[in-house]
């Protein structure tokens, strides 16, 4: 039987201590039940007592919680459960689980990978010129890619950031929408703009758009171009046809890298039309220099109901 161990973690910031412990110590209670340790919060000290191995894991779990802390809100339950699962699986003595800060929003929130797949995705983008990522909505595919693209542009690793997606109707027709072509297409590009607004001050974003450093455009507008020294994100790629996907992939120029994201369970193409994302993964699966990352419902970082909704739909579709 191992001798009980104890560690003390100093957390001088009361707001950060509240983030870790949770309302009415809810987070502490959950961690104590999972790891069989005793946790005591007194002033700026957080004491963890129990089996040495579990004490070490909880210490690293607390470090991970502090790293991802957004002090304006409580730690949401799905994020805490992911951290607990990682801490249980991690060998004792590993570094902090989520110390990697990808970017910081204009409000000061630190963007970090919140699951193993997200961490693999970030690493793949940093080490490959072409990355394919598939998975359900809310898993951070687009947001993390935009964050990394903004960072690459800021650090002058690329000269341009290009975001594109197919303008494919999801049950509605473009012709029935009011306005000219630009106004009809804009709703399809709005999610990409939303991510950029969170990551860049308005005046910086406006200047970058004016200078052509940032471009947000429908996939059809990529035809005939050579994209050099650019970070390119193709979002909602499941709605690209095989021909469009080939066209996009052959646009890559010198010093460029591309991220292709999509959810193969939400294809809005005609029923007799295969998804270019599915076809490309089949054709390119053995090509050297390309990374593939697959997300699942455990990676969902939106409202906790989203993960339940994804699982419910999966069960229904399997029937």
Q: Is 49 helix (H, G, I), strand (E, B) or coil?
A: strand
- Domain count for the chain: 2
Residue 159 in any domain: the answer is yes
Summarize pLDDT for 237-291 with one digit per residue, the tens: 999 999 999 999 999 999 999 999 999 988 888 888 899 999 999 999 999 989 9
Structure tokens at 278: 């599915």
DSSP 2: P
Domain boundary among 28, 58, 89: 89
In a domain, 95, yes or no: no
So what's the pLDDT on residue 291? 95
> What CATH number should be reported for the domain holding residue 11?
3.30.1370.10
Confidence of residue 168 (pLDDT cuts 50, 70, 90): low
User: Do both 80 and 160 map to the same domain?
Assistant: no
In this structure, are 111 and 70 located in the same domain? no
Amino acid 97: pLDDT? 43
Q: Final residue of a domain: which of 61, 89, 117?
A: 89
82 and 108 both lie in a single domain:
no
Angle at 55 between CA 2 and CA 307, to 5 degrees: 130
Neighbours of 54 (CB within 10 A): 22
b/e code 117-139 from CB counts within 10 Å (16+ = b): bbbbbbebbeebebbbbbbbebb
Q: Would residue 74 count as lying in a domain?
A: yes
Domain end: 33, 62, 89, which one?
A: 89
Q: Which domain holds residue 262?
A: 103-318
The CATH code of the domain that includes 294 is 3.40.50.300
| Beta carbons of 79 and 27 less than 8 angstroms apart | no
Query: If phi over 0 gives left and psi between -120 and 50 gives alpha, with beta otherwise, what is residue 285?
Result: alpha
- 262 and 193 within one domain: yes
Which tens digits make up the pLDDT trace of 61-82?
Answer: 888 788 766 544 556 777 788 7
Asked if residue 205 is part of any domain, the answer here is yes
Segment holding 8, helix H or strand E: strand 5-10
- Report which DSSP code applies to 267: -
Bridge partners (DSSP) listed for residue 131:
259, 291
pLDDT at 106: 77
Residues 29 and 140 both lie in one domain: no
For residue 92, what pLDDT is reported? Answer: 55
Indicate if 209 and 67 belong to the same structural domain: no
Question: Are 115 and 234 in the same domain?
Answer: yes
Q: How far is CA 181 from CA 8, 167, 187, in A?
A: 61, 11, 11
Domain-located, residue 96 = no
154 is a domain residue:
yes
CB 9 within 8 A of CB 66: no
168 conformational bin, left if phi > 0, alpha if psi -120 to 50, beta if neither: beta
Residues 122, 264, single domain; the answer is: yes
Same domain for 168 and 200: yes
Residue linked to tokens 């999801």: 170
Min mean pLDDT across 73-82, 115-124, 172-181, 276-285 is at 172-181
* Predicted pLDDT at 178: 52
Six token digits for residue 17: 């201590």
pTM, two decimals, is 0.67
């Amino acid at each position: 039987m191992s001798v009980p161990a104890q560690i003390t973690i100093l957390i001088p910031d009361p707001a950060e201590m509240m983030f870790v412990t949770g309302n009415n110590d809810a987070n502490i209670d959950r961690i104590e039940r999972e790891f069989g340790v005793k946790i005591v919060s007194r002033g700026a000290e957080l004491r963890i007592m129990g089996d040495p191995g579990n004490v070490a894991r909880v210490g690293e779990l607390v470090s991970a919680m502090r790293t991802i802390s957004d002090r304006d809100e409580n730690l949401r339950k799905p994020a805490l459960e992911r951290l607990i699962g990682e801490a249980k699986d991690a060998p004792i003595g590993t570094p902090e689980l989520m110390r990697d800060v990808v970017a910081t929003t204009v409000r000061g929130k630190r963007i970090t990978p919140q699951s193993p797949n997200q961490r693999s995705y970030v690493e793949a983008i940093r080490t490959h010129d072409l990355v394919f990522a598939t998975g359900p909505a809310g898993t951070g595919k687009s947001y993390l890619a935009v964050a990394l693209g903004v960072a690459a542009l800021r650090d002058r690793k690329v000269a341009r950031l290009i975001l594109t997606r197919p303008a494919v109707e999801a049950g509605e027709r473009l012709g029935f929408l009011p306005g000219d072509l630009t106004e009809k297409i804009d709703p399809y590009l709005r999610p990409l703009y939303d991510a950029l607004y969170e990551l860049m001050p308005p005046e910086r974003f406006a200047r970058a758009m004016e200078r052509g450093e940032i471009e947000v455009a429908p996939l059809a507008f990529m035809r005939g171009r050579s994209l050099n020294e650019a970070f390119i994100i193709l979002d909602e790629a499941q709605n690209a046809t095989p021909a469009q996907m080939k066209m996009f992939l052959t646009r890559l120029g010198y010093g460029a890298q591309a991220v292709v994201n999509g959810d193969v369970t939400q294809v809005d193409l005609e029923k007799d039309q295969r998804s270019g994302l599915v076809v490309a993964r089949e054709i390119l699966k053995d090509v050297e220099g390309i990374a593939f990352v697959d997300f699942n419902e455990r990676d969902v970082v939106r409202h906790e109901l989203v993960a339940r909704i994804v699982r419910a739909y999966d069960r229904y579709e399997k029937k």
